[in-house]
Structure 1
Amino acid sequence: MSSGADAVESLYPFLSTSDGDVDAVLAEVRQSTQDKVREIMRLREAVKHGYRNEIVACASAMAERFARGGRLLTFGNGGSSTDAQDLASLFLNPGATAPALPAIGLTSDIAVVTALSNDIGFDVVFARQIGAFGRRDDIAVGLSTSGNSPNLLRAFDEAARRGLLTIGIAGDKGGRMAESEHIDHLFVVPSASVHRIQEAQTTLYHALWEMTLLTLHGMGGAADVPRDPR
C-alpha cells in the first residue's frame, strides 16, 4: 500500500472496511469523528493556554495600530489564503455592534496575483503589494500551516522594513517563520495534521479579532478609530 493510501487509512480507517458490515462501518465513522473532535479540543486548549498572554499583547498592539489609522493586510496560500480573507472580512464586517475597520486580503485581487506571479515570480506576490500599500501604522498577518512559504517570508521582510506590525500564524513547529527576525508575534499550532492546524488557527485568529475589538472599545470606543481617507 502506498504512503498516500496509508495516510488516508489513518485518517479515515472506515474507508478500508471491506466485510460489508454497515453497522461496523457506521460505528467506525462515529468513533473517527469523536476522536477528531477530542483531538481538536485538546489542541485548541493547548493553544489557548500556551498563548494566553501573547494573544492579549498582540491584540493590544493591533488595537493601537488601528487607533492610529492603520490597516490590516492579510495573506496566505491555498486554504490559508481563504483563512486570511476570512480574517480581513471579520474586521470589515464585525456586526451591528461595531464599525468596520480597514482590512485588505492580498489574495482577493486575482489579476494582481497572477500578473505578479507571471511577470516576476510567485515569491513576491505579497511583498510587492505590501511595498505598494503598506504604511508604518499598518498590520501584516500571514497564515501558513507549515511556516515555510517563501512568499510569506518575503512579505514579512518587506513589512518589517516598512515598520508594519507583523503577525505570523503557523503550524507544526513553525518552520522558517519561527526562525524569522521580522515577525513581532508568532503563533504556532503544535500539530502535524494540516486539518487540525487550520481548525485551531481559525479559533486563534477569531480570538485575536475579538480581543482587538474589546481593546479598542476600552480605549474609548472603536467608533473613534480614524478611517482611511482613500
Structure 2
Amino acid sequence: MTAAAEEEQPGGVDALYPFLSAPRPGDPLAGHAELLAEVRRSTVDKAYEIIELRRRIVEREAARIEACSAELARAFASGARLLAFGNGGSSTDAQDLASLFMSAGDGAPELALPAFALTNDSALVTALSNDVGFEAVFARQIAALGRPGDIAVGLSTSGDSPNLLHAFDGAHARGLLTIGIAGHDGGKMAKLSSIDYLFVVDSPSVHRIQEAQTTIYHVLWELTLAALARGGPAGTATTDLGGTAR
C-alpha cells in the first residue's frame, strides 16, 4: 500500500493527527495549508521509513533475535541478573529495557526478572565519572555487580562510546552474556569480540535508529517471557518485530 493510499484509509494519519487534516473555517491554521501539507507528508514518510527499517531488520536478524532470547531465558532461569547501560537517549532506553524485564508481564509476578540500569544512581555515576573517569563508569559497576552468567546489555546509536566498549570487555572477561544494540554500521562495537550478540540498526537517522532499537529489545523481552512461561526454548517462538510474540 502506498503512502497516499494509507492516508485515505479510515483511522489512518487523520485519526492519529487530526490537526494535520484540512483546517475548518475559523481555524487559526487555515492560512497555512501548504505548511500543513508538508508536515503531513513528512509525518507519513517517517512512518513508512521506520516500517521499512523494521522489515529489513526482521529479515536479517529474526533468527539471531530468537537465539538471543533463548540465551536470555536460560540465563534468567539459572538466576541471572540483567545490567543495562547507555549514554544520553540510550541511557533512558536502557532504563526502559530494565523496567520491562522487572515488570511482571500481564500481571504474572513469577515473570518479573531482576534487571537494573547502570545510570539510575546519579551519585554513583557522577562519583565514578569525577574520581575515575567517564570511560569507566559502566565497567566499574559491572566489575562490582556482575557475576558469571549474568547479562550485560549496552545500547548506542553510534556504537563508538568508549564507556560501552570498556563495559563489554569487562563483562565478557567476567563471564557475562553480552548483548549490544547499535546504530549506523555498528561502529567500534562491531569490531569487538567481547559482544556475544550484536544487533545493528543500519540507518543514518538517530531518530529511526532509536525507534528500531526500542522494537528490538521489546521483542527480546516478549520472547524471553514467552520461553520462561512455557519452560521451553525461546527459539520456538516467532515474532514480526512489531512487538508481538506468539
The 3-state SS of whatever aligns with 1:170 is: strand
CA distance in 2, matches of 1:159, 1:70: 13
Aligned to 2:82: 72
Matches within 5 A, 1:53-72: 53-72=63-82
C-alpha deviation, 1:69, in angstroms: 0.4
Q: Deviations over 1:170-213 (max 9, x none)?
A: 00100000000000000000101000000000000000000111
Amino acid at match of 1:42: E
C-alpha deviation, 1:97, in angstroms: 2.9
Partner residue of 1:45 out of 49, 52, 55: 55
Moved over 3 A (4+): none
Partner residue of 1:195 out of 207, 222, 225: 207
C-alpha deviation, 1:104, in angstroms: 0.7
C-alpha deviation, 1:141, in angstroms: 0.2
Corresponding position: 1:145 with 2:196? no
The 3-state SS of whatever aligns with 1:183 is: coil
C-alpha deviation, 1:21, in angstroms: 5.5
Corresponding position: 1:25 with 2:25? no
Partner residue of 1:86 out of 86, 96, 110: 96
The 3-state SS of whatever aligns with 1:137 is: coil
The 3-state SS of whatever aligns with 1:51 is: helix
**Long gaps (5+) in structure 2:** 1-29, 233-246
Aligned to 2:113: 101
CA distance in 2, matches of 1:21, 1:75: 47
CA distance in 2, matches of 1:68, 1:219: 12
CA distance in 1, matches of 2:135, 2:215: 28
Amino acid at match of 2:204: A
The 3-state SS of whatever aligns with 1:141 is: strand
Aligned to 1:182: 194
CA distance in 2, matches of 1:47, 1:194: 16
CA distance in 2, matches of 1:21, 1:189: 40
CA distance in 1, matches of 2:46, 2:157: 18
Identity among equivalent pairs (%) = 63
**Long gaps (5+) in structure 1:** 1-19, 221-230
CA distance in 1, matches of 2:108, 2:82: 20
C-alpha deviation, 1:98, in angstroms: 4.7
* Two-structure CA RMSD over aligned residues (Å): 1.4
Aligned to 1:116: 128
C-alpha deviation, 1:119, in angstroms: 0.4
Aligned to 1:10: none
Instruction: Tell me the TM-score normalised to structure 1 length.
Output: 0.85
Amino acid at match of 2:89: G
Aligned to 1:11: none
CA distance in 1, matches of 2:170, 2:31: 57
CA distance in 1, matches of 2:225, 2:59: 21
CA distance in 2, matches of 1:129, 1:120: 12
Instruction: Tell me the TM-score normalised to structure 2 length.
Output: 0.80
Partner residue of 1:163 out of 169, 175, 181: 175
CA distance in 2, matches of 1:62, 1:176: 24
CA distance in 2, matches of 1:170, 1:21: 43
C-alpha deviation, 1:218, in angstroms: 2.5
How many residues of Structure 1 are paired with residues of Structure 2 in the alignment?
A: 202
Determine which structure has greater relative contact order: mean sequence separation of CA pairs < 8 Å that are 6+ residues apart, divided by chain length: 1
CA distance in 2, matches of 1:79, 1:87: 12
